[in-house]
Structure 1
Amino acid sequence: MKQSFRSRILLSGLISATVASAGYAHASGFSIPTPLKIDAGPIGKVNVQGVVSGMGFLQSNPSGLGLNGKNAGADISSGLISINKSTGLIQFNLTVGAYNFPSLGEPFSSTSSTISDFGALPLAYVTIAPMSNFSVSIGKLPSLLGYTGSFTYERMNIEGGFPWYLQTTVSRGVQVNYSMGPVSASVSWNDGYYTNRYNVVSGLVTYAINSDNSISIYGMGNAGHTGNINSTTRYSPNGYVNGELALDNSQMYGAYYTYTGSNFTITPEVQYIHTPKSLALGTSAGSQNISAMIHGAYDINSNWSIAAGIDYEHSSQSETNGIYFGYGPGSSALGVMITPTYTNDRYFIRDELSYVRLSNYTKGIGDDNRPDQIRDILETGFWF
């Protein structure tokens, strides 16, 4: 895709010039083998599991430099080892290695550049669990926001959908988890979009209606303010520092419902973001973004499954000098993807075909104004 299509954050006016603990909700991509249990002496038994996978892609409308400037390419999708202890008073989780976060309608980033976002240790936290229904976690924590996991093996589909792209991925902070009967809740004080400023509050509440149905509500907001127009915060997965800071100063609310049957799972999700005007970030207008998805997966037999998703997003029509999350003020995007998967013991292979179509998008950011993209991704790998 060219820049006009792939830019998820349009900074107009002045801005444009410059897995295991309670409370973590991730979509299961496919059947994951049981981890190895190793006796770690005084620590007790720990779970150890690794995954190695690569992906190749074909796409129309490429743009930019590096991987996304190609009609065809390949890279590592996961090269990770997870070590965790999920029992006892003191628990922990360490995930180390290489990773990539492909996303629907978004430019590909090389795995090496993606690793620079959170380092070679993307998750590292300790959990104190004095009771079976209460725990406190501290460290580099996975997001509480949304249904879709960040790593590809946590997803029904290879690509993350529209709601996922604007959610936090990893934050540093402290999190409290509590459950009582069918209700579980987590609240976190963290640094939001990895800004290293600890003023963001996020939360997740899940109600298990029965063994097959549940509903979750999540939210995030900044208790203070992060950054200004001259900020040099390094982490910015979409390439715009001030856009990332605008997200960090936004309010996000969302909900998703999950039905899980014996061989079928479906989840609709809706998400709303409000970004107030900010003199510190040089904006004179607020903006809104709403996104929604329906993702589902069906197990055909013990080896084959198929997943599919429909995603939609719309950005508000606002005045000049606002910040817009999407493809420009008043823009809309519709995306679909389908992903058949084959697994055999510890080996897996899957192929995803996706299509994205834009409406009322902003032209002239890059050198191409084509409003659609077709992409095919083949991912294969194994667990160890």
Structure 2
Amino acid sequence: MKNKVGIMYDNISGNTGDVAIGISLRKIMKELKVDFDEILLNNIDVLKYNTVIIGGGHLLRENSDFFYDKFKLRGPNILNSVGVVGNPNDLQYLEEYKYVTFRSEGDRKKAGYLNKKSSVVPCTTMLLDDLQDFPIHIKRPAIGVHLIPNIFSKEEEGLFVKWASKLPYTIYFIPITHYNYDYIYMSKLSQRISNSRVLPIMKPLEIFTFIGKLDYLITCSLHGSIFSYIHNVPFILMEQEKSRFFLEDRGLQGYLFSNLKEIIGLTEKVINNPLDYSNLIVKDKKILEEHVENIKQIVPNNSTYILSKECTESDEITQLNLQNGILQINLSKLTYELEAYKKEIKGINFRLKDEESKHMYYKKELKKIYRSRGWKALKKFYSLKDFISKKINGA
């Protein structure tokens, strides 16, 4: 096993970007003809590998994170285009690594205290290839839209629907961050926008390929923007630190949005003056070529390596299992929430019936009061009082 390489990335969550990173890592290993194993996070045999390639993705985080602490692996390994969350102060173990790369200058600065040379390398998902046989036909001109729940207030949502409905484009809502229930949210939006349709849940390479066929993209997903960028499809991206780092490295930070007004303004700007990323893409691909060459110099080469059909099918099954896993988790959560809402509605209906019973009771009691001698006497008293008051005031 010492002659094998391990690849280690977030292969648990099933997020589109993380699964795409795994595909890109396997692609690199296969092209280099290197024997490799994909390491699951509960694998205790990682030290048996000659080298472990870790990343990319948003993996380096502050201490005491049960899931992400598992990526803080010691030894002569490779850090592959990784992002940094927060400001972890325990990254000194990276000084043991053979090769350290971050996916942005902003991420690299967070590890600036290390006594270790490091580089900035674009996310390796930029190395992915489009699917040759893609079943979805796109009606152009087309704008892809990826939105997450709670991005708008109710008022803003109505304004977005009105604005989008007037656009002279076919609007395709693209589910990307399934853990955000984006499919459910965008399905509801699409029902209100006649010139739109919501796409089915797709695998990462299908999303990658589809985005490349669009004219423009509005997205809340970093990897949605990376897929758009590498296809030279103009896009705007929701403001987040990782998104800002990605765009700042390319001088595109002016295309970040944080509210509806900016979405509308930037979309119109992109449509009227579409950007051409060609020169930037050439630079990024050159860096990635050098990155792959650097990995080649480090990992053991195996000239007898053969890419089998079974291996390819295994990758496809892994993809599907990861995606199915996250969808099942979402379904379980939605089922739980539905049951909670049913209980809440049942409680509200019970209280409503109780209030209705009280209302009927008080209504009957009020009728009894109106028919009572005391009420009639009181009415006569107030009538007499008013009569006397008018006489006195008239005098």
Give the TM-score normalised by structure 1: 0.22
The structure carrying a bigger strand percent of its residues is: 1
Larger Rg: 2
Give the TM-score normalised by structure 2: 0.22
The structure carrying a bigger helix percent of its residues is: 2
